[in-house]
Structure 1
């Protein structure tokens, strides 16, 4: 019965469960998983055996070992199966004839390729599964194994979701690079990655592939997507080198998931993250973050949920952000040899080994070198002689990461490229004046063509030459195209050209000075031409985010071109508006030093860059440094130009802001009043600069507790900005938040929350969820909810805002600390006293490092901490702390300031608590009198003081007076806040009220 097919399993097994061993190349794992699932549904026991064929073991022996497998052996035939080793077709033909042909009952096969395979594979009689649907493929598979193909009787009740048919893409698939048909080895890494992700608990499926540049992390991630993609409903690839790119590409997933959102990418991003977290509409998703080398910039945006996240990074710090880590080393020598022989078939195994050793098994360099070496007449020996010093140049170590003489290897490669398409080298050199990584093709293609160097002008004006140059670079893996959704090879304006960091560094170093001068000038002008010109327009922030990384590499600060300098100023303004303070400070500091030397100390653009630099420093919390800069500018400009000069007025406005930040509120008020008067006289009421001065005046008044005046000023500023700018301009939204803060401080909680809720929605749409201005709005909404009685929702919001402040600005930033103060107060009152104490102590320590000992913020934080000590039973310590805070706050802001009155309310309570009711009542009477005089009878703080006085009188057994004061205060509480407000209910139940200090950080 030679050649006859027999059913799965052997006759002597009788009724034993039938077994099929599936032998497959790792590249075809998706096929093996689908085939196994189809068989298991029919009661077949399946054993998976990934085929490996070590070069040191004769192929015949490996096939004989396969005969030892249980049951029938089903081989998944593809070119990958026969290339492992790698083995020649002649070897395979001989082995198949010797092992498989005599034993047809043990071997069966299915073919999943249309490529050429060894002719002797015919002895396996493979059933072809290509170019057909899942149903027909399953029928052919079952027929090949002599299994019935009738529908399963319980198929309708089988709800489990098996692997997707490999020829069918996941329902959502985007951005994944084309599959590398030269991918070699890495089987243990791929298997480890698969098991680490599959074995992770829900919400913890995050894995980082980390290793040095050029080691093949991106190729490994792409192979993972193809190999295991059939097990997911969504596979989405994201370039994660920059935060802005990551946000944009992830937001583009929204319509693919069928999510209904507006066009604003921040809204789409939130919707995508929420959908992934909930697993709706798809629970089996794979997100790949490629090139995520800055975890501090991205970790807060990594989605959680039932799916998986695969990260590629050079940075092992992802391990500190709840990611499992898997290091990607250089190739094993056998992998290097196999890869080289695929890339350069003309090389013998011995030559491939020799080359791998010389290039130290680094995949990127193997790819580039073997690619062109295959096309040249140069022998491996001759190449290695060149590599070891046969070329006329220094052999240098480009980076500590690369202990090989890459400079020499690259010189050889570039010479080869230059001889075929010389424009390719020009294009590559041009690219090195952009940042390494993704370079938007738009920035290259939209360069102004007048006065360009001839080699560049010809390249940009001739589409055929442009594509020849790019394809030449792609052929040797020097660059790659980032967009993978187009059918052709042409680089479209929406694509990016990816230049590896190693390539960038070496090409930039190996460049004639003449080219360097020409190309840097071209790129500077290209960046200036790409400047949208409106850094306050949030719709253009993505464009600025695309430009900023390239400023350093184009060395723009050495340019005297006005358009280039204007670009720098606009980028600084953009960085201030978006809260990128650290990067902005670095750029501003460098620009100020460079321009003072380049164009002179008193040049108008030097004063402009000083203004932007000081704004960034102040927003970053560097108040002492900023005050010194602004004071020097103010004194110089007053002396040289007078007090009505616009540069002087702008510097003086900055100085007023510094004085406010340093706690010198009266000085700041005097200066802001004078500046507003001068601006109004010079420019009129409706000029934007006048409105900025009016806004600053309102802030100065708020810090002094003059909330009624502040409300009037902020209302005027808001209305004028709505008319002059637009409703959703950042400054208009800022004024609206300020107005809502004023309403809340005046006790108009319902109005404040209504205004703030709408304002926060607009902030998120316009500026994104993590912009500092948005976070300011969100913190105020939490405070509105808290004061209004919605304690549970406020608590969640406090926690969320603080976490995002810490991620965006850092734990020590003044705005972060303001959020931490409020979160600590909430935790103190709602059961988490340990967290409240820990947070409060951290805030005080950070204030002590950053502020003067008498600063009101530090004093107020200590006053809050006294309440925590009271709650944990440390009464004497608490009393001493609050008494000192009362003295210090009085000295800092005066005895009638709301902050001083609040400290007095708390001090009276603690005096009462430690058994000194007379002193407590005396302080409470004084506090009530001052509060009524300065704030009015029905302000929340005044009502708090009146209820507290009633409690102190009751402790003195003056019940009649206590009852009278209490009833009057209750009546006013019901009239102002309502009879069901938490403050009213607490007062009615005679719960002693306290006051929480709230720092008014900008």
Structure 2
């Protein structure tokens, strides 16, 4: 083989080597990028030129244009390169003979295909790169270009393209490459350029457009063209929040992250790893079918990697994503695609078909596929289209072209003629949600209960496979490449992907006689797949698979007890897993339907109301749930009396609503009645009695009776440890409550020790991002803070707030509590501007959510007064502090610790405004009340004693001040330790203050 780059050609005059132009089809970009990278490392300039000759221009002219490049031209030969246009082998042979003969030495080639190429390509002396490793491929490229293959000393730069035959380090869920992919070059280039130019954390592009335009195929092609630039490529089904979380969580194993088994914990670990860029910084996540941005936008990861989204919804533009609209094919793309999909059709036929079908890619794919196997002419097919449309037909969606309905009727007739069972299977699939369909659960059904021909499919594996293959042949369904979680691994043909557009049109055209039997089959399959234990976190992935299909299977309309149990279990799962939005929507729809089906007083209604109210309450709608639960308790009491178990359960919910509304004394009285009733009916060791004891302790805590709550929580915790397993979620809940009580009574070390262990267990059992775990971590952060480790507390609080906002939203009660803590920490140890912004925000949100008279509103107003103090706004500082004190005393009484804390702050205010006598009087009264309510050595009482000493010193009553201060300092040292931050601060005569902390209700 002669040298291609001679020394003279490579470096005329001994200067810099001439650039090499690499001509490639877009399909083979990864090869071109890799070759370009190895040449650049050897000092050669490289020009990558995508080959896309105009069909209107002679092929020889397009080839001749390549010779205008100043240096040599290296062609990446493949079937794609020679078929673009598309062009025949005869055209290529003629063009190569003409151009190669007149430009000797200007062209060389590498071959990246094992398929047949035009015979005249032999003039390019291509070296074969298929089926070999990177080192040998590099040697062959260099040899063909006449370059030495001496090793390059410098390592490959970070981000250098990977050898195309090597997959990314982590690769998962990506659909098979569509070897008929056509066009879309500008969009692919634009998407790549946007992502490459994006700053860290902003690399998000959304491909949006109507159904059927090929968004998913376009995203898959992007992966195969540019995937060599990434170490991690992960495909995510993003049609629902649950499927999104599940699929991202599965990446933890692929990244070899050290996490527990719960998917919530794995999800958090994955997002942290992607954000940090460790262990891989070059990552690409594809979120396919993300049509509900408000459901998942908070979960989209940030970091050094990239996110590619496919969606029908243009609202992604409001969620920090660059938008690229995907329309139908242009006519040239349509024609090229049809001719590849149906080789028997010539260009005029392809143009005619594209015109008739509106250039819609999905419709072209399905129609051309079966036309290629049919002897029907395009003219006859178009006549069917034109004559088969009834003017009275209503479109399935404004997104769909009118011709689609008739085209589908023709295709379905074709399927019925070959394997009629495939149409039954397709119809059955439309009673699942579109997208990923776990059809494997159908295989476990008793086929005797299914109607024909479904029963035939279920009992005959060969017939099942024939039907599946028939649907795949015409691109009606594809086999889903995602693996299902749980004990059962997905097998080939047991998970489908059904496009939303196909789903809707097939479902609409399903015969009325088939609808009820098919829905019954899917409902029965879903009910049979119910694990039956929504409290078992190990089974949550199975529920995550089931939930999206409930409504499509008409499970909400079913009166079958097994199906109704499934719905209730799914609601319970959604509540426990923290999927509150999804749960509220499902509960609301189910309640409306069940009331119509079984009436307002059916026992199932009371079960449903219980779960629905739990979900509403978890989101902070206490007024709404109070109305629901009060109506339920009144009716149940009238029906069955005050000792009925359904009444007691509903009353427990009502007590929780009262706590949320700040009506703590009412909640305590009701919770005590419920506890006593459960004890009489079921005994002290029943789990319901223990739950009632837990609720009484919650009410006591909110009333400020910390020591009484601690005693009751400790007893409940010990009983639950005996009755339930140590890692049961209720046992862990009691541990958290007891640790919270320990902190509130001032036993900070004991609280921190127990809470740290509890957090580790919560992460394992509930998952890292479950709201219960986040709440436990919040208490641990505050334990750190009270022990003086302010830096650790600050880092944890900031992280928790970010995670909580992403998990449950910025207006969730837990997010609001975390915002309060973060604002207080920022005020004293961070950014006072951030503290003010957070404080103003949370005050507004609490006022909106709970009303101006709620104790939480008074508490955050007291905190905001301290922010105003720090920024020097003395008048507003005094006004806010005094109003908080007045409102808190009115809401919870003068002896409540929250009121005492407000009084502590106001005594300082009165000194600031020049009334030291009033300050001393208030601080003295606060000491007396705190001693009565909390004890002489409680940290809040000690702070009040230090404040009173300062006030007396301001009145020049030094002897009294010193006596009070000395005694308080001795108690500080005895209770908290001589080196505790509170002790040191008191010794330094820093004026103490109090931060309000809202507790979980």
C-alpha distance in 2 between matches for 1:134 and 1:631: 72
Quote the offset at 1:301 in angstroms.
Answer: 3.7
Partner of 1:59: 59
Moved more, 765-774 or 947-956: 765-774
Cα distance in 2 between the residues matched to 1:5 and 1:467: 53
Deviation string 1:433-492 (CA, Å, 9 cap, x unpaired) is: 111110113222223323110211111121111111111111111111112799xxx972
Note closer, same or farther for the CA distance 1:558–1:927 as it changes in structure 2 (3 Å cut).
same
Cα distance in 1 between the residues matched to 2:616 and 2:158: 58
549-558 or 875-884: which moved more?
875-884
Give the superposition deviation at 1:679: 0.5
Structure 2 CA distance, aligned partners of 1:368 and 1:8? 54
Greater RCO (Cα-Cα under 8 Å, separation 6 or more): 2
- Residue 74 (structure 1) aligns with: 74
* Residues 220, 42 of structure 1: alpha-carbon distance in 2 compared, 3 angstrom cutoff: same
Structure 2: stretches of 5+ with no match in the other structure: none
Q: Which moved more, 1:932-941 or 1:657-666?
A: 657-666
1:620–1:145: structure 2 CA closer, same or farther, 3 Å change rule? Answer: closer
The 10-residue stretch of structure 1 (419-428 or 823-832) with the greater mean CA deviation from structure 2: 823-832
Cα distance between partner residues in 2 of 1:834 and 1:498: 50
Hey, what does 1:522 align to over in structure 2?
521
Which of the numbers 460, 473, 476 marks the counterpart of 1:475? 473
**1:513–1:23 Cα change, 3 Å:** same
Alpha-carbon distance in 2 for matches of 1:703, 1:371 = 68
* Residue 321 (structure 2) aligns with: 323
Match of 2:307 among 306, 309, 314: 309
3-state SS, counterpart of residue 769 of structure 1: coil
Conserved? CA contact 2:8–2:14, under 8 Å: no
Partner of residue 934, structure 2? 935
Matched residue, 1:460 = 458
In structure 1, what is the equivalent of residue 769 of structure 2?
A: 770
CA contact (8 A) 1:459 1:466 kept: yes
CA distance in 2, matches of 1:123, 1:385: 47
**Residue 119 of structure 1 corresponds to which residue in structure 2?**
119
* Aligned equivalent of 1:33: 33
Give, in whole Å, the separation in 2 of the partners of 1:612 and 1:264.
23
After superposition, the C-alpha distances for 1:110-160 in whole angstroms (9 at most, x for unaligned) are: 2111111112212222222222223332333233233334x24x5367766
Q: Secondary structure at the match of 2:236?
A: strand
**Secondary structure at 1:252 match in 2:** helix
Post-superposition Cα deviations, 1:322-373, rounded to whole Å, max 9, x if no partner, equal 3333332222211111111100111121221222122222211111111112
- Who is 1:577 aligned against? 576
Instruction: Work out the number of aligned pairs and report it.
Output: 996
Which range is displaced more, 747-756 or 10-19? 10-19
Could you say if the C-alpha distance between residues 891 and 12 of structure 1 is closer, same or farther in structure 2, counting changes exceeding 3 Å? closer
1:704 aligns with 2:724: no
Listed one character per residue, the Cα deviations across residues 274-296 of structure 1 (whole Å, up to 9, x for unaligned) are 44444444333333222233334
Whether contact under 8 Å (1:4, 1:104) holds in the other structure is no
Q: Any idea what SS the aligned residue of 1:534 has?
A: coil
Q: Deviations over 1:733-756 (max 9, x none)?
A: 221111111111111111112211
Listed as ranges, the gaps of 5+ residues in structure 1 are none
* Alignment check: 8 A CA contact 1:5 1:104 kept: no
Any idea what SS the aligned residue of 1:49 has? strand
Q: Does the C-alpha gap of structure 1 residues 580 and 47 become closer, same or farther in structure 2, counting only changes over 3 Å?
A: closer
Bigger drift between 322-331 and 856-865 goes to 322-331
Q: Note the alpha carbon deviations across 1:476-514, whole angstroms, 9 max, x for none.
A: 11111112799xxx9727952111111111111001111
Contact residue 432 and residue 553 of structure 1 kept, 8 A: yes
Q: 1:940 and 1:3, CA in 2 relative to 1: closer, same or farther beyond 3 A?
A: closer
Shift of 1:997: 1.4
Contact 1:718 1:736 in 2 (8 A): yes
Q: Is the 8 A contact 2:92 2:118 kept in 1?
A: yes
The secondary structure found in structure 2 opposite 1:207 is strand
Aligned-pair CA distance for 1:3: 9.9
2:410 maps to what in 1?
Answer: 412
> CA RMSD, aligned part only?
2.3
Query: How big is the shift at 1:394?
Result: 4.8
Query: Which aligned pairs between 1:429-578 and structure 2 lie closer than 5 A?
Result: 429-483=427-481, 492=491, 495-578=494-577
- Answer yes or no: is 1:361 the counterpart of 2:329: no
TM-score, normalised to structure 1's length? 0.95
What SS does the aligned partner of 1:322 have? coil
* Worse-superposed segment, 390-399 or 970-979: 390-399
Aligned CA distance change for structure 1 residues 959 and 851 (closer, same or farther; 3 Å) = same
In structure 2, the residue matched to 1:195 is 193
What TM-score comes out, normalization by structure 2 length? 0.95
On the 8 A contact 2:291/2:313 being kept in 1, the answer is yes
Whether the 8 Å CA contact 2:262–2:766 is kept in 1: the answer is no
State how far apart, in whole Å, the 2-side matches of 1:394 and 1:117 are.
Answer: 51
Contact 2:694 2:734 (C-alpha < 8 Å) held by counterparts: yes
1:237-272 per-position Cα deviation (integer Å, ceiling 9, x unaligned): 222223333333333333433444443334444444
Give matches, 1:416-427, under 5 Å.
Answer: 416-427=414-425
Measure, in 2, the Cα distance between the counterparts of 1:923 and 1:161.
67
CA–CA separation in structure 2 for the residues paired with 1:831 and 1:907: 24
Partner residue, 1:128 = 128
Q: Distance in 2 between matches of 1:683 and 1:485?
A: 44
Change (3 A) 1:269 1:629: closer
Q: Deviations along 1:755-804, whole A, 9 cap, x unmatched?
A: 11221222222222222212211221222122221112222222222233
